[in-house]
Amino acid sequence: MRADFARAAALYDEAAVLARETGRRMAERLDLVKIVPRRVADIGCATGDGIRELQRRYPQALPLAIDAALPMLAAVRSRSGWLEHLRGRAPRTINADVRALPLAGGSLGLAWSNLMLHWLDDPRPALAELHRALEVGGLLMFAMLGPDTLKELRTAARKVVRSGIHGDGAGGAVKSLLDMHDIGDMLVAAGFADPVMDMEMVTLTYASPRGLLRDQRQLGVRDVLFGRMGWRDWRKVLAAWERVDQRLPASFEIVYGHAWKAAPRAAPDGRAIVHLHR
């Protein structure tokens, strides 16, 4: 999938309507949080909308733009002006996987991730690594896709399956995605405190199936999102996709979450830590 994201960098912004909207809504949630981070990181930064928002909000913080695809990081650098580079205010770009961040433990005040974590087969190693990288009192904020994403295509696939005219793959039209309650449990298991989860549906509409497929290809996610069916089955599913007001609706369940890194209750050797307050 890293190669898909790398190829998508040049056209990513044309199709990133959903990511821009979820990023805007994530930023609104930061209005309710009072933090003064020394370092902020956009994990899976793509072309850099998130890190620019964090720079605007926290101008004194060191901004880190982290992505596994080098062309995405090149796009981030190209958007920083020469004066920003000269003053040392351009985002520091880091080519890394979220499951193995080249950051010291306890070095981040805020980790931000917009529509990236759901692409991992198992987000638990990533959550554990983000917990390691955050300082005590640091905040993790993210958005990811939930299980009702593209429910219209899931419904169309079920119709094709019931009709008995499908191949072997029509039942797996869209990647399986985790429920927000499961993500909340994973945050607690990773050591985070006070996780807050909520969700909303965002619906885009298309004149034809080609529009949705083009957008997902330009985002670099088409194969992983629609990767389990052959083209013959896909033609049947797309034909069964029902229109609403002459348009094809594509709903995306957006799961928002944030959680804090609390002070540890035990030392690495297993001894309990007791915090005394005067």
What per-residue confidence (pLDDT) applies to 84? 80
Amino acid letter, 105: G
Model confidence pLDDT, tens digit, residues 181-216: 999 999 999 999 999 999 999 999 999 999 999 999
Q: What is the mean pLDDT of residues 159-185?
A: 80
Residue-wise pLDDT tens digits, 142-166:
999 999 999 999 999 999 988 765 5
Q: Higher confidence at residue 234 or residue 192?
A: 192
Give residue limits of the domains in the chain: 2-261
Q: What is the pLDDT of residues 22-52, one digit of tens each?
A: 999 999 999 999 999 999 999 999 999 999 9
| pLDDT for residue 229 | 76
Band (14; pLDDT cuts 50, 70, 90): very high
Q: How far is CA 181 from the centre of its chain?
A: 17
pLDDT (mean) for 216-230: 87
Residue 219 has which token pair?
């985002």
Across the strands, what pairs with 108?
134
The count of other CB atoms within 10 Å of the CB of residue 97 is 17
Q: Residue with structure tokens 């690594």?
A: 129
Inter-residue contact 106 to 131 (CB < 8 Å): no
Q: Are strands 108-114 and 92-95 parallel, antiparallel or unpaired?
A: unpaired
Average pLDDT, stretch 253-271? 82
| pLDDT (0 to 100) of residue 164 | 67
> Residue 149 burial by CB count (10 A; 0-12/13-18/19+): exposed, middle or buried?
buried
**Cβ atoms within 10 Å, residue 247:** 14
Residue 176, C-beta contacts closer than 8 angstroms, at least 6 positions apart? 147
pLDDT digits (tens, 9 = 90+) for 53-104: 999 999 999 999 999 999 999 999 999 877 787 777 899 999 999 999 999 9
Is 171 a residue whose pLDDT tops 70? no
159 by Cβ neighbours in 10 Å (0-12 / 13-18 / 19+) ranks as middle
The answer to whether 40 touches 50, Cβ cutoff 8 Å, is no
pLDDT for 96: 98
Sign, CA dihedral 69-74-77-81, equals: negative
**Which CATH architecture group holds 2-261?**
3-Layer(aba) Sandwich (3.40)
Does 269 have pLDDT greater than 70?
Answer: no
The pLDDT tens digits for 111-146 are 999 999 999 999 999 999 999 999 999 999 999 999
Length of the chain: 278
Contact by Cβ (8 Å): 89, 23: no
pLDDT of 178 > 60? The answer is yes
